[in-house]
C-alpha cells in the first residue's frame, strides 16, 4: 500500500516540477531543452527528418515567443503526459558508441 502512495506522490512531484520549469508553456518538450553536449549534438543529427523538423519548429517558436515576452495559450502547452523522450534512444546509442570508442583507444 505504501509503495502505491509513494509512486503517486513521486508522479505528482514530477508533474509539479515539469510545470514549474516553464518550458512547456512555450510548447517545448524536455528533450528540446538538453544542454548541447557533443553527445546531444550527434543524437540530434541522427534524428529522422520529420522529428528533426518538429524539434526545430518548437525551438524557433519558443525563441520567438520568448523574444516577444509571451507564452502559448494554456491549451497549447506541452502536457506532462504527452512529453515523449524522443531523443533518448539516439542519445543512448551515441553514448554507447563513444564509450566503446574510448575503450578501444585506451588499449
Q: Is the per-residue pLDDT at 58 higher than 60? A: yes
Task: Residue 78: give its domain's CATH number.
Answer: 1.10.1090.10
CA distance linking residue 93 with residue 86, whole number of Å: 13
pLDDT band with cut points at 50, 70 and 90 for residue 1:
low
- Residues 67-87 have pLDDT tens digits of 999 999 999 999 999 999 999
* Residues 3-49 pLDDT 10s: 677 888 999 999 999 999 999 999 999 999 999 999 999 999 999 99
Give the number of domains in the chain: 1
Sequence-distant (≥ 6) Cβ neighbours of residue 77 within 8 angstroms? 24, 25, 27, 71
On the 0-12 / 13-18 / 19+ scale of CB atoms within 10 A, 13 is exposed
Residue 72 · residue 65 · CB < 8 Å: yes
CB 48 within 8 A of CB 18: no
Domain that holds residue 22: 2-106
Q: Are 1 and 56 in contact (CB under 8 A)?
A: no
Is residue 32 within 8 Å of residue 55, measured between CB atoms? yes
pLDDT, residue 91, reads: 97
- The residue ranges of DSSP E strands in the chain, in sequence order, are none
pLDDT of 92 above 90: yes
Amino acid at each position: 500500500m505504501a509503495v502505491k502512495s509513494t509512486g503517486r506522490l513521486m508522479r505528482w512531484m514530477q508533474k509539479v516540477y515539469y510545470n514549474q520549469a516553464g518550458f512547456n508553456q512555450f510548447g517545448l518538450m524536455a528533450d528540446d531543452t538538453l544542454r548541447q553536449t557533443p553527445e546531444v549534438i550527434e543524437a540530434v543529427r541522427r534524428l529522422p527528418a520529420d522529428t528533426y523538423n518538429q524539434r526545430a519548429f518548437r525551438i524557433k517558436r519558443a525563441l520567438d515567443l520568448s523574444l516577444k515576452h509571451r507564452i502559448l495559450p494554456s491549451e497549447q502547452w506541452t502536457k506532462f503526459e504527452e512529453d515523449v523522450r524522443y531523443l533518448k534512444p539516439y542519445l543512448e546509442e551515441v553514448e554507447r558508441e563513444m564509450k566503446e570508442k574510448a575503450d578501444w583507444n585506451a588499449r
